[in-house]
Chains A and B, each alone.
Chain A
Amino acid sequence: MKQLLILSGKGGTGKTTIASAFIRFSDPEAFADCDVDAPNLHLVTRQGSVSNKKNYYGLPRAKIDVTKCIKCDICRQNCRFDAILLDGTYKVDTFACEGCGVCEVLCPANAITSKPAVDGELLLYEKDKNIFSTAQLKMGSGTSGLLVTEVKKQMKEAKPDAGFAIIDGSPGIGCPVIASLSGVDMVLIVAEPSLSGISDMKRIIETADKFGIKTAVCVNKSDINMENTEKIKELCKKEKISFMGEIPFDPEAVNAVNKGITIAAIDCISGKAAKKVYEETAKLIFEKGDEKK
């Protein structure tokens, strides 16, 4: 299975819009949305019907039994995450609690136990022979990196012999992005020609580089600032990163997206340009002499 991960560093660059176009062009047997904090891919992709729903359990949270609590305050004094609150009685702030177990082990009255917590939901959709793996993290939960890993695992288990898989990644450079990078064959970075966009692109290149994964860049909304687009191309040349092409800003794209349609399904300039970028990307990911680890 050749896995293509689409990242952007900065949000709002058009990652999901482009991912949905690629899915339309390549009709892969498997695709996934790893932006578990705010999954959007399903809004512009025909995903079929739900074939599996699973609760996702993150780290257990501490729970205080007020009937046993002797109010010694040892738990609150030793909690590094400010997760124990005193409001008449002692209570755990489940958003702040990291499930470390320190309070449990220190409590002289054995009043604290660990409770498993549902931190999100994994979803698997099936349509004809294709599967779509996604998840929604419950608001404020930690462990989004692990849920990302579960989304990819679910995708691989549902269609282990898929030849090609497209993964829509999450913004940023933290935990969920690092988790999504593992095991992929190529990363396509969607960059925006703004100074913020370039700054974020550099940080995501640095992150992907730490993993030694083949990286390529494309510029979206390229004509909002042609000088910056050129800057990006030069940067890629300098760092020896493959440049896959440009996609111009297209008001038709917004219309399509708002109708829940991918730009690849309508006749528009961004769709046409995305097709060229897709073709370059496909060439690169499937090139010969490429040993998959």
Chain B
Amino acid sequence: MKIAIPVNEKKVESGVCMSFGRTPYFLVNDTEEKENLFIENTASKSTGGAGIKAAQIIVDNEVDVLLTPRCGENASGVFQNAGIKMYKTVGDSVESNIKDFISGNLSLLEEIHAGLHDHGKK
């Protein structure tokens, strides 16, 4: 299974990023291959619709589960349609969040915030 989590830097020790749509990178952990892959989040530079573009990146990388502190309604709509579940991260350690998810200790992300509409519309 592939688990994605937004991270501040391209290393496992870096913290979990507070934003989903504008995180600089995603870490994708492949539990079978026991591999970590870093994906650059090109959506972070968008003036708008960042959540949607970031969600598209996650879908295109065949991720099964997303661990994130928060998620907007547009991105969550994408995930619902893609059948990707979202779990709420606790604290900012990447390793402990992945561990907690695997042992069933993370809960589903319930609060979805409304779209941020900062999309350059005049």
Contact = CB atoms under 8 A, between A and B. Distances in A.
Interface of A: 58-59, 98-99, 141-143, 145-146, 148-149, 153, 156, 175, 178-179, 182-183, 210-211, 293
Given A59-B47, A293-B70, A145 B121 contact: yes
A138 to B, nearest CB: 13
Given A153-B22, A182-B116, A293-B70, 10 more contacts: A58-B47, A59-B47, A59-B120, A98-B122, A99-B120, A143-B47, A145-B48, A145-B121, A179-B117, A293-B113
Interface string B109-122: 00101101111111
Interface residues of B, number: 15
A59 B119 CA distance: 9
Contacts of A210: 114
Contacts of A156: 18
Interface in B90-122: 111, 113-114, 116-122
B122 A211 contact: no
B113 A211 contact: yes
Most chain B beta carbons < 10 A, residue from A141, A148, A175, A211: A175
Query: DSSP class of B's interface residues: helix, strand, loop or mixed?
Result: loop
Most chain A beta carbons < 10 A, residue from B70, B114, B121, B122: B122
A149 B18 CA distance: 14
A182 B114 CA distance: 8
Closest 8 interchain pairs by CB?
A145-B118, A142-B122, A143-B120, A146-B118, A179-B118, A178-B117, A59-B120, A149-B118
Contact of B120 (A98, A178, A182, A183): A98
B70 A146 contact: no
